[in-house]
Structure 1
């Protein structure tokens, strides 16, 4: 196993910590603001309301990340886990948002639904027993495989169908950043290896700036300072919305558990039931806090596990400082706008490598699993069905929305199948005779 440059409880020098925290910020920021932007655009909210959602998302992400990393009593994983708004809740949120209850209904339903996660957290020591190495390996693999399409879209410069999608210039820029990051990780020493991602993105940004690719409109239009606005939209509590959000929270418990187990592998720490309980409890309380602060629910970010796997920097102190940077981005929107100005191909070059490293970690975990017909079936069926949903999400289009809500994520499908098959498939005869 690769030796970590900075283990979980280490504290790099402050200047280096700031640089290392910045690369976590670059990996997560787009995902954190994506959900409020999608909701704002689809629900056709006034620009001022969308800005409230975005600023609150950044601020609460920072606060919950700090608590997740450092812990407060029984709350928190105490590992370098980045928290942010979750796409798992988007379908339920849009259904509520288009009803008479609007955004108030989304936030009220989210607040009540968070009880599912808060209460569920106390059962996590029992849930941990359901994750032997064969299941954990599948979950980690699915996290990486599900992120690859995101990285490919960044690499190509947008979404499929965009006029400049996969433009040769985009591919060349992304490849340049990818090669630079690989070279820094492989041959760089000290800071150059540890901060490979942020250095690669910074060099790519400067090249893009020289080529005239950077659009500073978002920076010019961003407010310099913005105070948080609790209960800006009010709260409403539609029964159907609470049910939909509660289902989404159940799915998030599975996804967050998988992320925490993958994080344990990346940081070379054993994840116990106590870890999972603290992590999921922080997730649920953070989502309740998010509803009060006028933004959408939270979950752990798998993107940042790739940063740790690639650089060997597992310090929770680094990610705590990243949480502080997120809080600053929430109260100084111009800071976040500057990060958002980074062209997608620049992010894509680093992102493809980060997410592929999670897949590699899953392969290494599965390589240690006993080779048997039973384990082979669990791995094949779980990953095959998880990839089916990831690569062809339209597979679920004609099913009731309830099914789409639960099985819309390849990570969830792969995880649930691995858990179920591990429980119901009989042990191989050779294994049981040992």
Structure 2
């Protein structure tokens, strides 16, 4: 009897232990993380990608969903007809996915095959699907409202570089041209370019390097008072060539024309990379280790410009920043209850993270409203020479009345584009970084849209479109290039709407907005402390994204850490040495060569890029260790990735053009056409 009891107790103990192990591996990895209480400190390794998504039928999907929700989901929620309206379960499971991904490797080991089937939700609208018109309009408007703050920030930054802080009418033209180029490029990129849902917007990466140019005496912004004393008060011609010439004509327009000409040439070289199919060649030498210090050092000089905006009133700036951080980060796990009424359901509550999607827009609106109140009660100074004057909401409202209802930007509005070697050198560095950044976004949007990794011809065509529109931006006078925006990719992941038609409509909306002069003039009158607060969030997020590239490299490698650290350090030392020496740092006898060398040595991101690319390609290291395998695996698709797809490579084709091109074999050798075959090109070589 005792033996039987001992045996029975042993079996029971073993079963309990097995049950505990099961609960520790399964419940601890799924249910615990689902509640947001996972312990991420157990592993020092970066989180691994989630396991593949397996296609299942709707009935099977409904049964397995109970594993995460612990209750049966009503049939009407999962029915295709109501899939667009019922987001409660979608957001709940999506949140569980976010927490599970943070747990790392234990997720893929501990979760069973049944849970994998509901690990990711299907897209509501795939890339090639067209939503109903009323939903299409809503989705397009949502994306449009999200991208407007970035256009405002870049326009303000461009005006600072051009010494055009007080030229309000010129800012309206810059804003209009910026929106016009962004809209056209977005439409072309989604129609005949990369063909996945991406937004092409103004890129501060082209403007930030120019802050180093402002350190050169000939590019510094002269004081307006001293300028008028020389040219008008004393009735002397001075250094500007004409008597009684305005500050705008003498200072702003020459800078504008030099930037336009340099951008045209930089855009042409950008386009040439996609036209000749040299994207793969560039990726052989430039990888994450090069990108990290380069982009990080771009932000070194940005604090000076952000300070100029925030210093007009620190209270409003801090309030704007705090609201944006609160809505986008502290409340990112909450869904806003929105009351709705429909004929089928009547009055009901619809939960959606609206506060997170429009966090920047809401923060800007609140900051603007607070500035209006403080202006009305007389808190801000009305002296134009006081910094607080730019915090007033009525300091620049006159430009709204002066701006016509319709604005038609055209090339050569202010003269023939010029050229400057120093500016061109700054743009070239930004061009290389922009290409790498766009390629990384191409991979990201492919994962979010559940389509295969982008083929070579699609990436070449995307880079070609970007370069062509950058060249057009220089010709029109936008003074900045365009690139893909990661923020809009995040919205796709959040809303599960990956239709390219949404972004085509977004492009049309931006073009219409660019032509409405009154609308763009209102955006220009945003108080400076509000712009500064938004720039803190935007540029802070931009700099933080740089560290995302660390996931591709081996962080345990002393080689990688040393190259990144040395590149950043030299990127700071070389500009400091050049500024310390002043104009005497170079004396070749050629003023243009001296300016070029001074500009390059005072540009932190160029110095960091040069050191990083040399060390990364000369110090021994494997491709996997350097993170190059991720950048170079464009056409490789493993079995696990293919299980997560909802559409095939046909999404990258141009239907009307592809049928015609397949008739001619020569098109398989042209790197940007949909019929391009890298294998044929290798055979011909």
TM-score bin (small chain): 0.7 to 0.9
Q: Deviations over 1:174-200 (max 9, x none)?
A: 223311221342223697436614245
For structure 2, the 5+ residue unaligned runs are: 1-48, 50-97, 99-119, 222-238, 242-252, 337-349, 375-391, 448-452, 586-593, 626-685
> Taking structure 1 as reference, are residues 324 and 307 closer, same or farther at Cα in structure 2, changes over 3 Å only?
same
Matched, 1:330 2:523: no
Alignment of 1:135-146 (within 5 A): 135-136=287-288, 139=291, 143=295, 146=298
Q: Deviations over 1:17-54 (max 9, x none)?
A: 41233112223431145325642628x9x765554444
| Deviation for aligned residue 1:356 | 5.9
Contact 1:385 1:413 in 2 (8 A): yes
SS at match of 2:393: coil
Higher helix proportion: 1
| Deviation for aligned residue 1:328 | 2.9
SS at match of 1:83: strand
Contact 1:63 1:324 in 2 (8 A): yes
2:279 is matched with 124
In the alignment, the residues of structure 1 paired with residue 170 and residue 457 of structure 2 have an alpha-carbon distance, to the nearest angstrom, of 39
2:198 is matched with 80
In the alignment, the residues of structure 2 paired with residue 374 and residue 65 of structure 1 have an alpha-carbon distance, to the nearest angstrom, of 40
> Taking structure 1 as reference, are residues 29 and 272 closer, same or farther at Cα in structure 2, changes over 3 Å only?
farther
> Taking structure 1 as reference, are residues 324 and 76 closer, same or farther at Cα in structure 2, changes over 3 Å only?
same
In the alignment, the residues of structure 1 paired with residue 567 and residue 145 of structure 2 have an alpha-carbon distance, to the nearest angstrom, of 35
| Deviation for aligned residue 1:323 | 3.4
In the alignment, the residues of structure 2 paired with residue 295 and residue 104 of structure 1 have an alpha-carbon distance, to the nearest angstrom, of 11
Aligned match for 1:380, one of 565, 579, 582: 565
For structure 1, the 5+ residue unaligned runs are: none
| Deviation for aligned residue 1:262 | 3.6
After alignment, is 119-128 or 79-88 more displaced?
Answer: 79-88
| Deviation for aligned residue 1:115 | 3.1
In the alignment, the residues of structure 2 paired with residue 141 and residue 319 of structure 1 have an alpha-carbon distance, to the nearest angstrom, of 32
1:229 is matched with 410
Matched residue count: 406
Matched, 1:290 2:437: no
In the alignment, the residues of structure 1 paired with residue 602 and residue 124 of structure 2 have an alpha-carbon distance, to the nearest angstrom, of 36
Q: Deviations over 1:352-405 (max 9, x none)?
A: 663365145234334xx263232232332234445x37xx96554245532454
> Taking structure 1 as reference, are residues 347 and 298 closer, same or farther at Cα in structure 2, changes over 3 Å only?
same
| Deviation for aligned residue 1:125 | 2.3
TM-score when normalising by structure 1: 0.73
> Taking structure 1 as reference, are residues 230 and 247 closer, same or farther at Cα in structure 2, changes over 3 Å only?
same
TM-score when normalising by structure 2: 0.49
- Could you say which structure has the larger radius of gyration? 2
Matched, 1:361 2:540: no
SS at match of 2:621: coil
> Taking structure 1 as reference, are residues 411 and 107 closer, same or farther at Cα in structure 2, changes over 3 Å only?
closer
Alignment of 1:8-157 (within 5 A): 9=127, 13-14=135-136, 15-36=138-159, 38-39=161-162, 41=164, 51-68=172-189, 70-72=190-192, 75-76=193-194, 78=196, 80-84=198-202, 86-87=206-207, 90=210, 102=254, 104=257, 106-108=259-261, 110-112=263-265, 114-121=267-274, 122=276, 123-131=278-286, 135-136=287-288, 139=291, 143=295, 146-147=298-299, 150=302
2:309 is matched with 158
In the alignment, the residues of structure 2 paired with residue 196 and residue 406 of structure 1 have an alpha-carbon distance, to the nearest angstrom, of 40
| Deviation for aligned residue 1:215 | 1.0
Aligned match for 2:483, one of 300, 315, 325: 300
In the alignment, the residues of structure 2 paired with residue 401 and residue 427 of structure 1 have an alpha-carbon distance, to the nearest angstrom, of 37
Aligned match for 2:614, one of 407, 411, 420: 420
SS at match of 1:174: helix
- Structure with higher RCO (Cα < 8 A, 6+ apart): 1
| Deviation for aligned residue 1:246 | 4.7
